A and B are shown apart, each in its own frame.
Chain A
């Protein structure tokens, strides 16, 4: 059972445009939602994260929007640049159960920003 569904699988955006990646979840116990950025052949790096008590968090050109009632959250990349071309993963943390505090990852979105 996939607990975090991420879409789209791939995304092509023109330089200067807005990139939007969406994630949906079912487990209402999730209490922390990070986004990771991964370049080819490298390990993922934390980009930005949000907790469910806020609806939006912005860091530079990156914004997370969080809709608790819809159980959805999204990453917006403003003024997208070719250097943003990477694979992005959303994740969620479950503080309950035997595997407490594990992160569950979405399947990833490959973003290509074209000049």
Chain B
């Protein structure tokens, strides 16, 4: 059963704490992406990785960090430097470095209080 898994579905943290969101794919896709979704804002790219051990900043990378040590995994850390971390976070992957189709995971809703 191939796909993208994100865990957990809901995550609660206190302000000032770092938190890591998990994203795993078993589609053998080369490229992986992290998006943030806020009501009425669409999807905004945080980071993306086209190959293992390489990643690039997207439009809103400040306050976030990522790693890509394995092809199937692309965890996102929301640091305490992110001023407004409460949001719905979506992970996606695409078969090659050219994203003709991005497959999305189910998302993680992060609430920071």
Contact = CB atoms under 8 A, between A and B. Distances in A.
A105 B102 CA distance: 12
B84 interface: no
Interface of B: 4, 40-45, 48, 56, 58, 90, 92, 97-107
A9 to B, nearest CB: 7
Interface of A: 6, 9, 32, 34, 36, 41-46, 49, 89, 93, 95, 98-99, 101-103, 105-108
A45 B103 CA distance: 7
B42 A89 contact: yes
B42 A41 contact: no
| 5 nearest A-B residue pairs (beta carbon) | A43-B104, A107-B42, A105-B43, A105-B42, A44-B104
B40 A9 contact: yes
B98 A44 contact: no
Given A42-B107, A44-B104, A45-B104, A93 B43 contact: no
Given A41-B107, A43-B106, A102 B90 contact: no
A43 B105 contact: yes
Nearest to A9: B40
11 contacts: A36-B104, A43-B106, A46-B103, A49-B100, A99-B56, A99-B58, A101-B99, A102-B48, A102-B58, A105-B44, A107-B40
